[in-house]
């Protein structure tokens, strides 16, 4: 089943912060975050592994709550280049399985 993301869309001024949430109805083994700009392919940002290990981006952070089956992506001091649609992806069964992607969050950063 598809993870649910919130909010669906957000508009920020440059320098503001944002939080994007990803909730799953199934147990989470890992959470993968991607950003996609219009007309382009998704670009890998970050992976959060069960047990708290986080690998990925320098300026963006994330949390992973296994009990609540949720992950949140934190964008601080947003830049214009952060604009795009953010997707979380979760493996179906164990970290080695394919990813099912969430509903997406459209982020627009303005001057």
Binding site for other proteins (CB under 8 A): 2, 30, 32, 34, 40-44, 47, 49, 55, 87, 89, 91, 95-96, 98-104
Residue 6 or 100: the one with the smaller Cβ distance to other proteins is: 100
Shortest spacing between CB 73 and other proteins, in angstroms: 15
Comparing CB distances to other proteins, the nearer of 5 and 70 is 5
**17-20 long-range contacts, CB within 8 A, separation 24+:** 17/74, 17/75, 17/76, 17/77, 17/78, 18/74, 18/75, 18/78, 18/107, 19/72, 19/73, 19/74, 19/75, 20/72, 20/73, 20/75, 20/86, 20/88, 20/105, 20/107
For other proteins, the closer of residues 34 and 82 by Cβ is: 34
Which is nearer to other proteins, 61 or 91 (by Cβ)?
91
At its nearest, how many Å lie between other proteins and the CB of residue 111?
25
């Amino acid at each position: 089943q598809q993870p649910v993301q919130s909010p669906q869309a957000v508009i920020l001024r440059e320098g503001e912060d944002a939080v994007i949430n990803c909730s799953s109805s199934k147990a989470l083994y890992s959470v993968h975050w991607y950003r996609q700009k219009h007309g382009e392919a998704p670009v890998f940002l970050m992976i959060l592994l069960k047990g708290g290990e986080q690998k990925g981006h320098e300026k963006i952070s994330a949390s992973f709550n296994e009990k609540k089956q949720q992950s949140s992506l934190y964008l601080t001091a947003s830049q214009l280049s952060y604009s795009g649609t953010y997707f979380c992806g979760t493996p179906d069964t164990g970290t080695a399985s394919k990813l099912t992607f969430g509903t997406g969050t459209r982020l627009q950063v303005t001057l």
